[in-house]
Amino acid sequence: MTDNVAVVGPGAIGALLSHALNKAGMKPYLIFKDSRRAEAVLREGGIKLQTPVGDVVTLAASYTSYEEISTKGVVFDLIFITTKNYDFPEALSRVRTSLSSKGFIVTCQNGLFAYEQAVKEVGKERVAALVLSHGVYREKPTHYVWVGGSESYVGSEGLPKKVLSNLAGKLSLLNVKVVDDIKSYMWLKLAVNAAINPLTAVLGVKNRALVEDEVLRNLADKIVDEVVEVANALGVKLPSNPYEEYVKIAMSTGDNYSSMLQDIINKRKTEVDFINGEVVRKGRLVNVKTPVNETLLMLVKAKERQHYRL
């Protein structure tokens, strides 16, 4: 396999993955929705990423768009799709025809929707999922800050382990481990996100509040209770204790505003439909009631519509 790699939707996660690929000796294509955005980023000197030690690097990449890769007939062996969940269907439809005969797609989204959609559309033998445990945020339109992270995971229900090991090697900077049951790790991250994101978004508090406030801790536990019950009903065994996991993450990112709260503050659409909403939908499939997740889903959507401020 050659190293013709694309990153679709080059926001915060896309910038981080591109940096990791640069460190592995690759220069990815960064694919934007339209050429105007790609040209605007180039005029600003390209995308920059600040590393955990404070260094600022400019990504080595080819800036392009859906239209341009289609017109030129560019073909990729590896495509990372890093868009938000609600932009994923369009992204997948625009780039799937640009896969080489042995190429595959890597989903990087929260929840299960993107991975399951990709498997449905292109087949499990051409899709891998990446579960990242790294913090990165946008400071300016073309400047991102990587604050660090911990062990991350990649897996597939159809790709050979040799291919996945090769992929993990390309992302060695991010401490990526190949796992057999990637969906269990996706469910674990879903449990953490379902607890932290909506509560901080609705209440306008930093992550540490979920651990320091007894009432919020109790509520977060109830959210996770429902996620675990749904996962169990689906035959999914979580790889570690989800209660300990959300507490650990809430404390290690204690002074941060969650991504969902940042979306509310900045009047952006949230991904609550793909986090708590995912728990509700999966629960209905197996006749498990999820009233706490459903309530938070509605509260976040109400706040999203009214664009409340802190």
Q: Which residues fall within 8 angstroms of residue 214, CB to CB, at 6 or more apart?
A: none
Contact by Cβ (8 Å): 88, 79: no
Q: For the segment 187-213, what is each residue's pLDDT rounded down to a tens digit?
A: 999 999 999 999 999 999 999 999 999
Helix (H, G, I), strand (E, B) or coil at 29: strand
| Average pLDDT of the chain, as a whole number | 94
Beta bridge partners of 65: 32
Q: In what order do the strands lie in the sheet with 176-178?
A: 62-65, 29-32, 5-8, 76-81, 99-107, 127-131, 152-155, 176-178
Give the active site residues: 189
Nearest to 66 by CA among 45, 42, 92, 95: 95
Measured CA distances, 183 to 12, 129, 304 (Å): 23, 8, 29
What integer pLDDT is reported at residue 255 of this predicted model? 82
Pairwise pLDDT comparison (14 vs 141), residue with the higher score: 14
Give the separation between CA 249 and CA 304, rounded to whole angstroms: 24
What integer pLDDT is reported at residue 3 of this predicted model? 66
Q: For the segment 265-299, what is each residue's pLDDT rounded down to a tens digit?
A: 889 999 999 999 999 999 999 999 999 999 999 99
pLDDT band at 307 (very low <50, low <70, confident <90, very high): low
Give the separation between CA 287 and CA 289, rounded to whole angstroms: 6
Contact by Cβ (8 Å): 110, 189: yes
Region 63-71: what's the mean pLDDT?
Answer: 95
Q: Is the pLDDT of residue 50 over 90?
A: yes
Beta bridge partners of 106: 80, 128
Determine the longest span between alpha carbons in the chain, in angstroms: 57
Percent of the chain with pLDDT over 90: 86
Contact by Cβ (8 Å): 106, 112: no
Q: Which two tokens stand for residue 108?
A: 């990087």
Q: Report the predicted TM-score, pTM, of the whole model to 2 decimal places.
A: 0.94
Give the separation between CA 61 and CA 127, rounded to whole angstroms: 23
Amino acid at site 96: R
Map out the domains of the chain with their CATH numbers: 5-180 (3.40.50.720), 184-306 (1.10.1040.10)
Q: Which residues fall within 8 angstroms of residue 16, CB to CB, at 6 or more apart?
A: 49, 132, 134, 136, 144, 146, 174
Contact by Cβ (8 Å): 157, 60: no
What integer pLDDT is reported at residue 147 of this predicted model? 87
Q: Which residues fall within 8 angstroms of residue 287, CB to CB, at 6 or more apart?
A: 233
Give the separation between CA 26 and CA 18, rounded to whole angstroms: 8
